[in-house]
Structure 1
Amino acid sequence: MQQPPEQVPALLDGPAVDVSDAHELLVGYLEWYREALMRKLAGLSDDQLRTPVEPLGWSPLGLVQHLGWVERRWLRWGFGAQDVTAYPPGGDADEWTVPAGTSTTQVMAAYQAEVTAANCHTRTATLSDKARLGGRFKTPDQAPSLGRILFHLLQEYARHLGHLDVARELIDGETGE
């Protein structure tokens, strides 16, 4: 009987191994983390997506909602200085809690809309471009470069996807990548 070929794991996650341009790497890894978020949610029922995981206190869908706010705060309000609401009226509790009348589809669509808007800012800017003034940052001394913002977003996603791995294991025993 013939043995199935061994699956060889990818040596690196994210952009292709021949990518060396720093902008392409940072944007590529950010996209990889966004896709990893969706992979880690795959297979969960609507109830599992919406139910807070104990002892963590938040639901997987609440994490998606939070990451949408993070994208908005750092790229639209922060880098682009757009006049947008940066925080929900109820603070952290509202940022992480999906209202009963809000569907999973609505949360996912809002998250994807923030990602699309964020990509408009990262697509043509250089890593050394500074955030525009007037949104999150009021003075030139406060305004970070796009490279600094992207690096921050990568660590934010990495941390939260690790949290999601723990939540997923508590929900149904699935372990992360």
Structure 2
Amino acid sequence: MTTKPAAVHVPYTGGEKESLHACLDRHRNAVLWKLEGLDDERLRRPMTPSGTSLLGLVKHLGSVEYGWLRTAFGHETEPLWFDPFAGEDMSADQGETTAQIVDFYGRARAAADRTITEGSLDDLGTSWNGATVSLRWVLIRMVEETARHAGHMDILRELIDGTAGDHRPG
């Protein structure tokens, strides 16, 4: 899969952008940690009546990173092979490999990081629904979205093999 990301700690006295970015990275790393050690069948196994799976959540988070942190600010994204507005980002189709989805998330994350690094918290963009949003608001939204789904992934992982926790130990 991927190399293990280094532990990220939100600085106790950091600046606003640095702290928001570190918080987002901390939850992003938890998302990847939830995948470690599982085979393809368990990664894509639907664990809820709605079909939620670990790999489907990673695919969704990749599309959300592109949408909120690239498209909203007028930056290019890679072409998607699925339609997130039709809910196709929430499942891992059998034609998609685990590596394809995890790599997609990594590319989306790297592209989003460029927007964060190069931008100002007061930069304005336009969301998918036409609302004007600041980079500050989007970072808060992304922390919320990623933490929410990392929590879902924690529950799914515990149901799969008993592994629990919000972040990699140590």
Structure 1 length normalisation: TM-score?
Answer: 0.79
Cα deviation, residue 54, structure 1: 3.3
Q: Aligned pairs, how many?
A: 159
Structure 1 residues 86 and 155: alpha-carbon distance in aligned structure 2, compared to 1, 3 A threshold: farther
**Counterpart Cα distance in 2 of 1:41 and 1:34:** 12
Give the residue type in structure 2 aligned to 1:71: E
* Structure 2 CA distance for aligned equivalents of residues 81 and 113 of structure 1: 14
1:2-151 equivalences in 2 (<5 Å): 14-17=9-12, 19-55=13-49, 57-82=51-76, 88-89=82-83, 91-131=85-125, 136=128, 142-151=131-140
Which residue in the other structure is 1:172 paired with?
Answer: 161
Deviation at 1:31, TM superposition (A): 1.1
> Deviation per CA, 1:61-82, whole angstroms, max 9, x where unpaired?
0100000011011011112354
Structure 1: runs of 5 or more not aligned = 1-12
What's the C-alpha RMSD, in Å, of the aligned pairs?
2.4
- Residues 148 and 91 of structure 1, relative CA distance in 2, 3 Å threshold: closer
1:87: how far off?
9.3
Distance apart, 1:84 and its partner CA: 6.5
Identity percentage of aligned residues: 35
Shift of 1:83: 7.0
How far 1:92 moved relative to its partner? 4.3
1:77 and 1:86 in contact (8 A); partners too? no
Contact 2:66 / 2:77 at 8 angstroms: preserved in 1?
no
Distance 1:143 1:22, change over 3 A: same
Check conservation: 2:51, 2:91, Cα contact below 8 A: no
SS in 2 for 1:144: strand
TM-score normalised by structure 2 residue count: 0.82
For structure 2, the residue ranges without an aligned partner over 5 or more in a row are 1-7
* SS state at 2:11 partner: coil
